[in-house]
């Protein structure tokens, strides 16, 4: 009998130290987390500003449920679009300096909706080698010719785009991330924009780990560099620094209208609960306020304790093999700190690591304590 044998597949995962299990979290408030009755300092969350437990955001969520109910009851194009969805999209468009915006159930759904609408058979997608799985899967689903360029290598991207343009006048989409989720480094955005503009390519920038964290108003790397108007498609999530769940795409009004009418992952999905949209709008307002600026200052003070001049809240500690990463993670857990081991296929083989994330809510004392416990060379 052919096909997948679950027992064999699971045995292979376990023998190579790649088997994973779901963690059931009993409580997660700020920087403390409880798992199976064990209280730990949480250095594994994407809640970079602590908004998931912020009283203004939780209050807005409760208010949204009281005003609009617990669920949306239908897809967006039927009766699932409530006023909070529309107001949130207007807020995102204004914040990202774009004509329009559209929200989705997740960041993954955003990519699966946007990319196959933007490009198709006969077109090209160029992806950074370390792009998130959602960008990779969406590019494959589009039917466009997929090409991968070395991580953050804008010179090689220039060479590849030049070659593609010599052979074709089809649409070219370049997709990359502001902050790479497993390495915490930034893309060379200005250089990539120049390459795209030279060769008539369009850029999709995923700001998932930059929104809320970078920029004077917390709107990401494009805002920080003053280039929002030059980025064709600004994508992001509501599930990291925003503190909730969902995704968004900011683009021209025509592209947003076309995605609304063509994207299967958008059309055939029940709309997110309006209460989430109501709370997300409150989160955008907070992030853009002085309170948001104060949270970012606290966040980067904490980051500087661990690694001077590091540009993001993600600090990888690359250990190489799976066994070492798992053992180091477990050792830190025994000391009261939760920092997960990240392994293939999330990161390339031979680069297993701890992925340490910092929050504005961490105290300087606890950051210094974890700094003393980490392997040297962080």
Q: Tell me the per-residue pLDDT of 42-95, one tens digit each, with 9 for 90 and over.
A: 999 999 999 999 999 999 999 999 999 999 999 999 999 999 999 999 999 999
Residue 378 resides in a domain = no
Q: Are residues 273 and 369 in the same domain?
A: no
Q: Are 195 and 252 found together in one domain?
A: yes
Segment 93-99 mean pLDDT? 98
| 8 Å CB contact between 193 and 227 | yes
State whether 245 and 156 are in the same domain: yes
Q: What is the band of 294 on the pLDDT scale with cuts at 50, 70, 90?
A: very high
d(CA 133, CA 143): 16
Round to whole Å and give the CA distance between 296 and 218: 8
This prediction has a pTM of: 0.95
Number of domain units in the chain: 2
Q: Catalytic site residues?
A: 46, 132, 177, 181, 206, 209, 240
Does the pLDDT at position 2 exceed 70?
no
* Mean pLDDT computed over every residue of the chain: 96
Helix (H) or strand (E) holding 62: helix 55-68
| Alpha-carbon distance values, 152 to 144, 146, 308, 355 (Å) | 22, 17, 21, 20
Q: Is residue 254 one of the residues assigned to a domain?
A: yes
Residues whose CB is less than 8 angstroms from the CB of residue 369 and which lie 6 or more positions away in sequence, other chains included: none
Q: Which two three-digit tokens encode residue 196?
A: 């795209």
Least confident of 5-19, 41-55, 173-187: 5-19
For residue 226, tell me if it sits in a domain: yes
Residue 11 maps to a domain: no
The residues pairing with 38 across neighbouring beta strands, listed in sequence order, are 35
Which residues touch 23 (CB under 8 Å, ≥6 apart)?
A: 35
Residue 86 Cα to chain centre, angstroms: 22
Q: Are residues 159 and 303 in the same domain?
A: no
Is pLDDT of 251 > 60? Answer: yes
Residue ranges making up the domain that contains 87: 55-287
Rounded distance between C-alpha atoms, residue 94 and residue 25, angstroms: 36
Q: Rounded to whole angstroms, how far apart are CA atoms 364 and 367?
A: 5
CATH number of the CATH domain containing 333: 3.90.1150.10
Which of residues 230, 253, 287 is at a domain's end?
Answer: 287
Query: What pLDDT does residue 22 have?
Result: 87
């Amino acid at each position: 009998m052919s096909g997948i044998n679950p027992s064999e597949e699971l045995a292979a995962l376990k023998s190579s130290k790649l088997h994973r299990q779901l963690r059931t979290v009993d409580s997660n408030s700020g920087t403390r987390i409880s798992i199976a009755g064990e209280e730990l300092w949480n250095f594994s969350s994407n809640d970079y500003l602590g908004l998931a437990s912020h009283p203004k955001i939780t209050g807005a969520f409760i208010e949204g449920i009281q005003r609009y109910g617990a669920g949306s009851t239908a897809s967006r194009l039927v009766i699932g679009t409530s006023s909070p969805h529309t107001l949130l999209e207007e807020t995102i468009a204004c914040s990202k300096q774009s004509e329009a915006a559209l929200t989705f159930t997740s960041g993954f759904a955003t990519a699966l909706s946007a990319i196959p609408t933007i490009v198709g058979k006969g077109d090209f997608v160029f992806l950074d080698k370390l792009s998130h799985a959602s960008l990779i899967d969406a590019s494959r689903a589009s039917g466009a010719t997929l090409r991968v360029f070395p991580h953050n290598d804008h010179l090689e991207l220039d060479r590849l785009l030049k070659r593609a343009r010599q052979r074709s006048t089809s649409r070219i989409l370049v997709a990359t991330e502001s902050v790479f989720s497993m390495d915490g480094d930034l893309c060379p955005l200005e250089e990539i924009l120049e390459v795209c503009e030279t060769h008539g390519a369009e850029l999709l920038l995923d700001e998932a780990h930059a929104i809320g964290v970078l920029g004077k108003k917390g709107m990401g790397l494009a805002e920080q560099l003053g280039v929002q108007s030059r980025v064709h498609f600004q994508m992001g999530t509501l599930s990291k620094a925003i503190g909730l769940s969902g995704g968004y795409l900011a683009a021209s009004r025509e592209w947003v209208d076309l995605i609304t009418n063509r994207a299967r992952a958008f059309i055939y999905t029940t709309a997110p609960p309006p209460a989430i949209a109501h709370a997300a709008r409150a989160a955008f307002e907070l992030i853009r306020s002085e309170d948001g600026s104060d949270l970012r200052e606290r966040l980067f003070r904490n980051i500087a304790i661990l690694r001077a001049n590091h540009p993001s809240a993600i600090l990888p500690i690359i250990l190489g093999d799976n066994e070492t990463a798992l053992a180091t993670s477990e050792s830190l857990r025994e000391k009261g700190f939760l920092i997960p081991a990240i392994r293939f296929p999330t990161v390339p083989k031979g680069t297993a690591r701890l992925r340490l994330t910092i929050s504005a809510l961490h105290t300087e004392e606890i950051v210094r304590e974890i700094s003393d416990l980490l392997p040297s060379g962080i």
